[in-house]
Structure 1
């Protein structure tokens, strides 16, 4: 399948709309409800979401390989979607059976179980391979709006945190049901069901095991700090730290969506020199956007604290965490390149090192120095994972390109070129 700029821009636009609306919608709802939830309940909410994302990352890490397969062989890719669906349904039943032993808190259970029942990533891979992301995006935005209203109602009127978490769970269930109904309008899923497609799923998962383990660990080093804060320092402290992290995650949407939208073109590219040349310009532009976003959130954070009537004693956490966020802008794109080049083992090792570093440092120092240890660990890990680890690759061309992109941030011409690029895109309407 050919992937031209117009197709990439279309996918990017729809993914961008969905991601921004989802992140901003969830953030806005959660932030507006802080005074009603209390900072402790907000910490408990972040604790559940951290585990939710950890589980969801593990069960969806094969997405790039599935998208690659759909782009190359649609029929074989659809068989994998059906096989993976059956596999995930078995996981749902197993998790439910174990849940009574693992989670005593019903609110946390509803949030975490929402990740297990969320199967929307599988139909989305089909729509993305067909360059029709508008279909799943519109449905998810509608569901998001409906359940955002219900969650606000549950806290402001019913004053029930349990009901809020229950709506969080049913939002995921609704998205899953709707996504498969939409897929069934295009594909006869029943014809794809076979014992072979189910058994072959295990071969596909085995081929993706490095990516699954790596992505799970990648999320682990980002989210384990929140889990440890809850256990060591309590839910209220996690609430303050979660507020900082959530604001930073708002600006993660752009590099995440850009890297996801560009994945098909990366996989279909056969000329590495042209790919690296495009990457050089892309990393510079993304770094400029990242720098602007980081400056903006540092300016706005005190205003957020004032608006929410929260304590200012942890205001110094934001500048530390935002440095890691700046590095993360390049990290998303570089990760796609590493998958394309087949550096899965290196991808795994760097994530494992970062995870062990975070666990060790937080375990020994968090109790004595508080959440500043988590903030410093987060930033150091981003610098290592997103930049320094690429120097250790056998082919470290991407590291040199990253350094060049960062050094060009100090040149005025880079910002003039960025302005011209954005004006050109807007004029041609290629990103709308």
Structure 2
């Protein structure tokens, strides 16, 4: 239900906001959000998947409380560090004068992301219903506020505040649901050795997360810097209509991968078979969605966003096909963590980031927005599929993906 509501919010209310703001202002909003996202990995420090794994392996509520308290403090501390770095970077650079206030609003994400630890606990226990309830409440409030702001003819800053507020409400209610449990969380029970242990496990994923954000967000930043705010708005629309489908692999990964991990040490044959089934399901879903958007995307943009965004269709018809490889990446990222190949997450993402930046520099100048979309498609294909071919220990993962495409199990 929360995903359907989120889909409705992104497609309809999001389009209404974009139409109201216009391509240039909407481009500045998207650009500011993407710029702040580059600093998020510093606050997350690679703990997300590690925390879920720690919760799964916890023997009792005391251990769970220890993990929660430690992870929360770590994410809060590094979130404050990333916040200060961003503020210094932005306010010492005159290039950001026109959007400093927007960036300041979105920078709240860097501190608020520490509340995600309670979400990770529910994921590990396969109790996502509490996160779902929180998400429904947050998205409902957000949709209502955005519509009210449009009716009040509000400025773009208020829409940025609502985006941050939606994130905060989601994790606030998740915490309130957790508070009903019997698990005691003490942030004062600080275990230095455990912190060092978590950092040792998470630093490759921190680096990987940093590079992941770069290769997924850098195109939006480069489009604005090279082509201007209006083109950034047009590009943001194509991204919105592509990324709105990302909830599909995310919810499938969260729902099924913890159960698949059970067979990792019990029965390898079942373990690989179920991973292949996941890849197959996501591949064909992505192909169907890509075909649908390719054929009906222009009509969708015209009806939802209006004629001022019609140029987004050409970009969208290319960008949407990167979903196939993003869907693969969602599951393969979980597989790399399960197998302990943390450094490959980093290597894969840094190569993807470098490839995307180089391609953007070449193709944006030569083909404009179409070049940015092509850069994303090629870099996503490398990360989501072809990277595995270069390393012997990862080729089994490439074979599983290939089998999923060819219906071989």
> What range describes the TM-score normalised by the shorter chain of this pair?
0.7 to 0.9
Aligned partner of residue 186 in structure 1, secondary structure: coil
Q: 2:299 aligned with 1:303, yes or no?
A: yes
Q: 2:252 aligned with 1:258, yes or no?
A: yes
Q: 1:68 to 1:225 in 2, by over 3 A?
A: same
Paired position in structure 2 for 1:398: 397
Paired position in structure 2 for 1:106: 101
Matches within 5 A, 1:144-223: 144-191=139-186, 193-196=188-191, 200-223=194-217
Contact 1:241/1:371 (<8 A) preserved: yes
Gaps of 5+ in 1: 1-16, 415-432
Please point out which of 133, 139, 142 is paired with 1:138: 133
Q: After superposition, what is the alpha-carbon deviation per residue over 1:373-426, rounded to whole angstroms, capped at 9, x for unaligned? A: 2111111111111111111232312212222322349xxxx9xxxxxxxxxxxx
Paired position in structure 1 for 2:94: none
Aligned partner of residue 193 in structure 1, secondary structure: coil
Q: 2:230 aligned with 1:236, yes or no?
A: yes
Q: After superposition, what is the alpha-carbon deviation per residue over 1:41-92, rounded to whole angstroms, capped at 9, x for unaligned? A: 1111211232344444553432222111111114333312212222333344
Contact 2:224/2:232 (<8 A) preserved: yes
Aligned partner of residue 330 in structure 2, secondary structure: helix
Q: CA RMSD of the aligned region, Å?
A: 2.4
Please point out which of 327, 330, 344 is paired with 1:329: 327
Aligned partner of residue 302 in structure 1, secondary structure: helix
Q: 1:216 to 1:27 in 2, by over 3 A?
A: farther
Q: 1:172 to 1:408 in 2, by over 3 A?
A: closer
Q: 1:398 to 1:96 in 2, by over 3 A?
A: closer
Q: 2:41 aligned with 1:67, yes or no?
A: no
Q: After superposition, what is the alpha-carbon deviation per residue over 1:157-189, rounded to whole angstroms, capped at 9, x for unaligned? A: 142211221222233333333332332221454
Contact 1:327/1:386 (<8 A) preserved: yes
TM-score (norm 2): 0.88
Please point out which of 8, 11, 14 is paired with 1:30: 14
Matches within 5 A, 1:366-377: 366-377=364-375
Q: 2:403 aligned with 1:388, yes or no?
A: no
Return the alpha-carbon distance in structure 2 between the equivalents of residues 143 and 187 of structure 1.
25
Paired position in structure 1 for 2:219: 225
Return the alpha-carbon distance in structure 2 between the equivalents of residues 28 and 54 of structure 1.
27
Contact 1:43/1:236 (<8 A) preserved: yes
Q: 1:310 to 1:173 in 2, by over 3 A?
A: same
Paired position in structure 1 for 2:72: 85
Q: Give the Å deviation of 1:314.
A: 4.6
Aligned partner of residue 313 in structure 2, secondary structure: coil
Please point out which of 34, 38, 48 is paired with 1:50: 34
Q: 2:270 aligned with 1:283, yes or no?
A: no
Contact 1:155/1:164 (<8 A) preserved: no
Please point out which of 245, 262, 269 is paired with 1:268: 262
Contact 1:56/1:116 (<8 A) preserved: no
Q: 1:311 to 1:129 in 2, by over 3 A?
A: closer
Gaps of 5+ in 2: 91-96
Q: After superposition, what is the alpha-carbon deviation per residue over 1:286-339, rounded to whole angstroms, capped at 9, x for unaligned? A: 222111111112223111232222254453222221221122222211221222
Q: Give the Å deviation of 1:148.
A: 1.9
Return the alpha-carbon distance in structure 2 between the equivalents of residues 401 and 98 of structure 1.
41
Q: For this pair of structures, how many residues does the alignment match?
A: 393
Q: 1:49 to 1:92 in 2, by over 3 A?
A: same
Return the alpha-carbon distance in structure 2 between the equivalents of residues 153 and 255 of structure 1.
32
Contact 2:65/2:183 (<8 A) preserved: no
Contact 1:298/1:319 (<8 A) preserved: yes
